[in-house]
């Protein structure tokens, strides 16, 4: 119980710090004034722009943490990344279409929707391909994911080359692909929060099955788990979670990998405590990384994905080295 | 309406900026995204994103109202000391709001419109999106900025002067055979070249100056291989950049045999005049017309 | 009355016949040892009987029901399966592992876990992680996990193969003890232990059943020698049955 309190307090601190951070730092007093409905331009900036952005970043972290925990559980591979199943490539393609093809609808609505559709479609496609190819095991799915990701990446590059013009430059797409949290309106943020809660509930339904699956496929079947069906559902649920994260946060690397690991140090590998802990850790990571992205190099904003990759890459290498040595 | 009229006049007077308080009623315009943008009073603190928008506002005589620019703006000299609100890595909402602007002018290039329009709308700062795909849009933008800034006469006068200069250039080259032209605007590391395309302001400038595209039909993608340019073998090769860079390019194998090179019609042209869609583009068209039609009668 | 039966099982993998025409019928109680040379199909048979691997043709029945038609949870409550090799992917604590065993049949009470921990003398280890356990401790944990639901049929695949002799005897004893009122089928590598502790023996050879019957009868059966490809010298010393391969 104390552990959860500590995690929650760390997250609260990160959120407050991130709300203050920016090109011009705000004081906690400024935040209170903005919340009280002050009409000054700066207060409106804090209320209408920075706070939704900070909360959206935290939710993106929640989803990446959940998605990472689910994928690592399904593939029983602590190096599994939510993005290996093509969902990243699919989401990026969807976002590219939203950004470059004039479809008439407002972009703030279209981009998350198409990114979501792309991520989900790509994952379903990967599962389908691996099934047709007869590779229903984890390695087969990962390989199919790599192949599909390559195809989707090429399609995206072609769209970027062919359709970019003065109105929509490559850099918009690029910045999205490099990761960056969308700043939702409060209404959209509410929707995002509900999606996140639903995703949390969905993944918690998988917790028991993931634990049994972690005993190995033979034991899991012996223990009565319908392994093939469960894996298919869990992959689908995991990609829904990742798709939601990608739709609002672009491609943010390594959080889905790192958050479950750090959470395991706190609560161990059982999924019922691991999933919420991973969500909290992910929220802390993305909130802080996003604050750095906004405040480190004013007036520019560093793409969030670059920060998490620079911090997460070495983490991944350490894990790999540790795993190869033991 | 009458009370608000008086109020706005009073506010503007308090701002000690009495030279241009012509329209004191709220003004609503439609921008390039077909958004209705309303400014309650002529803006006094303008953030202009990109050289083109900065130059247009400055050309209206409003340089002193510009409070923020982006990192690649180099002209006019008197605004170069203004705070930067963005650059290569994008644009900062924080930095823009920190300048307390009452108008932001952007163009949807790089990430500007993507990053700034939505937050400015939410925070309540008027933001105008301008596009410049041809000369007509540039003139329209100058008039629109004049109206928004409360100086519609300046806008009309400036745009009218530029239009007159353009008309006279077009008159000069009207009966001439248009040479086939390729304009190279950049070189990529992999050997590909960026070329000016039709349906852009640069392309429009080439055609208005009496040229026609040698790469017609291959205009969808801005990157082309040198081979495409060799096979098009234009009458005139334009290189947007310095003469030294042009020489470095045309001395390479293949280039020296081209019709334009042997005829000594490979010209270096000004990037600022032809790659920034603003008032100076008319200078660029005049210079271009002189290069394309050296025998045309002078005015 | 039979509790577990197989009807003409065939299993083929990539052209190779792993099981060919196996039929058997096992009663509700009793201990059964499955013996045979390497590659005879002992482990494969056990996996098919446990429903881990579906047969290519043929049917496994539990009671009068087709095993392949049962849901995983129902099957798991009827048949416990103890694998030859077990390595959890996550380094769980002993208490968590036993809880997973108890949870699977949905009959997790606070007492179940504690009871299993006490029965297999695991209480002092409850907070320890799997990676820190010795082979004997691991075998006890595995038994506690699988027996937590107390299935009427238990299929165990050489659970003691890697243990020293005392622990091996401990594990075999705890399995056979269940056989007084349960069915217990165990793949045995150690023939002496098989004939000493088990009621009946199934001899497998090249994917088929070579001989089956009471332990005493099979002990003297020449088909045993044929299956293993050696000639055994048979020594009986009271309850002890010893087989010594004679020089070839």
What would the pLDDT profile of C214-236 be if each residue is shown by its tens digit? 998 999 999 999 999 898 988 88
User: Å from A54 to nearest chain B CA?
Assistant: 14
Q: In chain A, what residues touch B223 (CB-CB under 8 Å)?
A: 161
Q: How far is CA B95 from the centre of its chain?
A: 24
How many pairs of residues across A and C have Cβ atoms under 8 Å apart? 67
Largest CA distance in chain B: 73
Write out the two tokens for A44: 């409106």
Residue C80 forms contact with A (CB below 8 Å) = yes
**Nearest CA to C98 among C109, C89, C194?**
C109
**Which stretches of chain A drop beneath a pLDDT of 70?**
79, 82-84, 103-108, 134-139, 164-172, 326
With CA atoms as reference, the chain C residue closest to A267 would be C92
Looking from the CA of B108 toward its CB, the CA atoms found within 13 Å total 21
Q: Which chains touch A (3 or more CB pairs under 8 A)?
A: B, C
Whether pLDDT at B8 is above 80: no
Residues C70-129: tens digit of each pLDDT? 988 889 888 999 998 888 989 999 989 988 888 876 666 677 788 888 888 888 988 899
pLDDT (mean) for B20-48: 85
Composition of chain A by helix, strand, coil, percent to 5: 80, 0, 20
The partner residues of B129 in beta bridges, in order of sequence, read: B106
Contact A85, A170 (CB under 8 A): no
Residues B266-291: tens digit of each pLDDT? 999 999 999 999 999 999 999 999 99
C and B: touch, per 3+ CB pairs < 8 A? no
Question: Given pLDDT bands bounded at 50, 70 and 90, which one contains residue B221?
Answer: low
> Where are the alpha helices (H) located in chain A, listed in sequence order?
2-20, 28-35, 41-45, 51-75, 87-100, 107-132, 138-163, 170-177, 186-213, 217-222, 227-249, 255-267, 271-295, 304-325
pLDDT at B11: 43
Nearest by CB to A299, from B86, B114, B125: name it.
B86
Report the sign of the C-alpha dihedral through residues B15, B16, B20, B24, in that order: positive
Q: Using CA atoms, how far apart are residues B120 and A48, in angstroms rounded to an integer?
A: 10
As a whole number, the mean pLDDT across chain C is 88
Q: Using CA atoms, how far apart are residues A286 and C139, in angstroms rounded to an integer?
A: 43
Contact B98, B119 (CB under 8 A): no
The partner residues of B103 in beta bridges, in order of sequence, read: B46
Contact B125 A24 (CB under 8 A): no
The partner residues of C185 in beta bridges, in order of sequence, read: C32, C155
Contact B220 A24 (CB under 8 A): no
Whether pLDDT at B14 is above 60: no
Q: How far is CA A267 from CA A71, A153, C88, C92, in A?
A: 18, 37, 17, 11
Q: In chain C, what residues touch A218 (CB-CB under 8 Å)?
A: 47, 52, 81, 83
Q: In chain A, what residues touch B114 (CB-CB under 8 Å)?
A: 99, 107, 168, 172, 175
Nearest by CB to A166, from B84, B131, B221: name it.
B131
pLDDT at A127: 76
C and A: touch, per 3+ CB pairs < 8 A? yes
Tell me whether 0.95 is exceeded by the ipTM: no
B292 sits in the region (left: phi over 0; alpha: psi -120 to 50; else beta) called alpha
Whether pLDDT at B218 is above 80: no
Contact C145, C133 (CB under 8 A): no
DSSP string, C220-246: T-HHHHHHHTS-EEEEEETTEEEEEEP
User: Å from B169 to nearest chain A CA?
Assistant: 26
Nearest by CB to B122, from A42, A48, A300: name it.
A48
How many pairs of residues across A and B have Cβ atoms under 8 Å apart? 95
Report the sign of the C-alpha dihedral through residues C209, C211, C213, C218, in that order: negative
Question: Given pLDDT bands bounded at 50, 70 and 90, which one contains residue B24?
Answer: low
**Cα(first)–Cα(last) distance of chain A, in Å?**
32
Of the candidate ranges A309-318, B11-20, B222-231, C41-50, the one whose mean pLDDT is the lowest: B11-20
Q: Check residues A166 and B140 and name the one with the higher pLDDT.
A: B140
pLDDT (mean) for C182-200: 92
Whether pLDDT at B187 is above 80: yes
Question: Given pLDDT bands bounded at 50, 70 and 90, which one contains residue C244?
Answer: confident
Whether pLDDT at B220 is above 70: no
Report the sign of the C-alpha dihedral through residues A71, A76, A78, A80, in that order: negative
Whether pLDDT at C237 is above 90: no
Q: Using CA atoms, how far apart are residues A221 and C53, in angstroms rounded to an integer?
A: 9
Contact C86 A216 (CB under 8 A): yes
With CA atoms as reference, the chain A residue closest to C128 would be A268
Q: Using CA atoms, how far apart are residues A231 and B268, in angstroms rounded to an integer?
A: 63
Residues B83-137: tens digit of each pLDDT? 999 887 778 888 899 999 999 999 987 778 878 998 999 999 999 999 988 999 9
pLDDT at B94: 87
Q: pTM for this structure? A: 0.82
**Nearest CA to C99 among C146, C141, C145?**
C145
Nearest by CB to B110, from A23, A48, A169: name it.
A169
Write out the two tokens for A113: 């929707």
If you search the block for the tokens 């087969």, which residue do you land on?
Answer: A140
Q: Check residues A175 and C144 and name the one with the higher pLDDT.
A: C144
pLDDT at B4: 42
CB proximity list for A209: less than 8 A, separation 6 or greater: A225, A230, A234
């Amino acid at each position: 119980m104390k552990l959860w309190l500590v995690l929650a307090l760390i997250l609260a601190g990160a959120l407050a710090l991130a709300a203050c951070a920016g090109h011009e730092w705000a004081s906690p007093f400024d935040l209170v004034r903005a919340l009280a409905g002050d009409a000054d331009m700066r207060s409106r900036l804090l209320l209408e722009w920075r706070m939704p952005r900070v909360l959206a970043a935290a939710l993106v972290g929640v989803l990446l943490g959940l998605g990472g925990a689910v994928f690592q559980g399904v593939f029983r591979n602590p190096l599994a990344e939510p993005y290996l199943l093509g969902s990243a490539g699919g989401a990026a393609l969807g976002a590219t279409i939203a950004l470059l093809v004039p479809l008439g609808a407002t972009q703030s609505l279209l981009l998350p929707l198409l990114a979501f559709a792309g991520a989900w479609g790509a994952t379903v496609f990967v599962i389908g391909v691996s099934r047709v190819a007869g590779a229903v095991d984890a390695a087969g799915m990962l390989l199919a994911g790599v192949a599909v990701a390559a195809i989707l990446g090429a399609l995206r590059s072609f769209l970027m080359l062919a359709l970019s013009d003065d109105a929509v430059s490559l850099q918009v797409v690029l910045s999205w692909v490099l990761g960056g949290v969308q700043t939702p309106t409060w209404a959209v943020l509410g929707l995002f929060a509900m999606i996140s809660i639903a995703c949390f509930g969905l993944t918690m339904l998988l917790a028991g099955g993931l634990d049994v699956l972690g005993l190995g496929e033979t034991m899991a079947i012996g223990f009565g788990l319908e392994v093939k069906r469960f894996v298919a559902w869990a992959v689908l649920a995991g990609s829904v979670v990742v798709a939601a994260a990608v739709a609002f946060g672009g491609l943010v690397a390594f959080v889905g990998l790192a958050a479950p690991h750090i959470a395991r140090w706190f609560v161990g590998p059982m999924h019922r405590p691991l999933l919420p802990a991973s969500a909290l850790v992910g929220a802390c990571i993305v909130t802080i990384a996003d604050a750095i992205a906004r405040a480190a190099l004013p007036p520019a904003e560093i793409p969030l994905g670059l920060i998490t990759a620079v911090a997460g890459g070495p983490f991944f290498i350490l894990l790999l080295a540790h795993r190869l040595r033991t | 309406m009458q009370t608000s009229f008086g109020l706005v006049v009073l506010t503007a007077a308090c701002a000690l900026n009495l030279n241009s308080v012509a329209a004191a009623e709220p003004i609503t315009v439609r921008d390039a995204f077909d958004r209705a943008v309303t400014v309650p009073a002529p803006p006094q603190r303008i953030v202009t994103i990109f050289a083109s928008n900065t130059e247009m506002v400055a050309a209206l005589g409003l340089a002193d109202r510009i409070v923020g620019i982006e990192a690649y703006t180099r002209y006019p000299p008197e605004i170069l000391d203004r705070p930067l609100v963005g650059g290569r890595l994008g644009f900062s909402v924080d930095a823009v709001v920190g300048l307390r602007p009452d108008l932001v002018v952007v163009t949807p290039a790089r990430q500007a419109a993507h990053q700034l329009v939505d937050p400015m709308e939410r925070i309540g700062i008027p933001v105008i999106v301008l596009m410049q795909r041809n000369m007509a849009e540039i003139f329209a933008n100058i008039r629109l900025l004049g109206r928004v800034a409360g100086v519609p006469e300046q806008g009309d006068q400036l745009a009218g002067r530029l239009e007159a200069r353009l008309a006279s250039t077009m008159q000069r080259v009207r009966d001439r055979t248009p040479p086939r032209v390729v304009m190279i605007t950049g070189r990529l590391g992999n050997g590909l070249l960026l070329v000016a395309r039709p349906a852009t302001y640069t392309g429009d400038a080439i055609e208005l100056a009496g040229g026609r595209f040698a790469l017609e039909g291959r205009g969808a993608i801005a990157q082309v291989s040198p081979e495409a340019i060799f096979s098009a073998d234009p009458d005139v090769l334009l290189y947007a950049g310095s003469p030294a860079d042009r020489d470095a390019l045309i001395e390479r194998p293949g280039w020296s045999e081209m019709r334009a090179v042997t005829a000594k019609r490979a010209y270096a042209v000004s990037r600022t005049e032809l790659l920034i869609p603003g008032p100076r583009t008319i200078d660029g068209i005049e210079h271009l017309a002189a290069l394309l039609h050296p025998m045309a009668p002078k005015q | 009355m039979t509790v577990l039966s197989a009807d003409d099982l065939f299993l083929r993998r990539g052209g190779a016949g792993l099981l060919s025409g196996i039929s058997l019928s096992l009663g509700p109680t009793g201990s059964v040892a499955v013996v045979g040379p390497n590659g005879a199909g002992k482990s494969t048979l056990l996996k098919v009987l446990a429903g881990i691997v579906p047969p290519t043709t043929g049917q496994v029945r539990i009671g009068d029901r087709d095993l392949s038609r049962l849901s995983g949870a129902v099957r798991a409550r009827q048949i416990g399966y103890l694998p030859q090799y077990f390595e959890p992917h996550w380094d769980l604590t002993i208490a968590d592992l036993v809880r997973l065993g108890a949870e699977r049949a949905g009959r997790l009470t606070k007492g179940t876990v504690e009871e299993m921990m006490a029965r297999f003398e695991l209480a002092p280890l409850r907070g320890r992680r799997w990676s820190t356990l010795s082979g004997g401790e691991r075998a006890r944990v595995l038994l506690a996990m699988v027996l937590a639901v107390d299935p009427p049929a238990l299929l165990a695949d050489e659970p003691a193969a890697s243990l020293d002799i005392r622990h091996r005897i401990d594990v075999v004893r705890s399995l056979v003890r269940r056989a007084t009122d349960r069915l217990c089928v165990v793949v045995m590598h150690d023939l002496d232990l098989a004939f000493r502790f088990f009621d009946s023996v199934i001899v497998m050879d090249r994917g088929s059943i070579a001989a089956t019957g009471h332990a005493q009868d099979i002990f003297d059966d020449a088909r045993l020698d044929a299956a293993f490809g050696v000639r055994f010298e048979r020594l009986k010393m009271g309850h002890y049955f010893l087989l010594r391969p004679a020089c070839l």
